[in-house]
Amino acid sequence: MRSQFGRRLRLKAAAQFDSVFKRGARLPGRLFLIVYAPNRERRHRLGLAVSRKVGGAVARNRAKRLLRESFRRAARPARNGYDLVVVAHKGIVACGQAEVDRELRERLQRIDAAAAPSGAPAAAGD
């Protein structure tokens, strides 16, 4: 099975980012902030916002690689799809892949739990 971070899983256009920032909810974390809004698909799509505050080009690219890989590992079909914009914080560059994986997985579980109808049990494996 090929596990790639394909075009259909990405937010690229400025209008897509603007839409998420306008209508989305915020979920802060130690390594990054996630702004998320529902989409019409059964999968999450990812957009990255990594500013110069994170560091130079090498640091920003490392942050993006860490986040993309964590998303690729955590991505699975979802009951409700969301467009996610991840805003990286400065400390992410010093972290390892496992730490970023753990925080992203926790955030995605919180998003999925918030989306579940009240009183309904969470899906198996969550």
Please state, for a pLDDT cut of 70, what percent of the chain lies above it.
85
Average pLDDT value over all residues in the chain: 87
What is the reported pLDDT for 5? 65
What is the reported pLDDT for 35? 97
First to last CA, the chain: 22
Strands (E), 6-117: 25-27, 32-38, 45-49, 82-88
What is the reported pLDDT for 126? 39
Fold of the CATH domain 9-112: Ribosomal Protein S5; domain 2 (3.30.230)
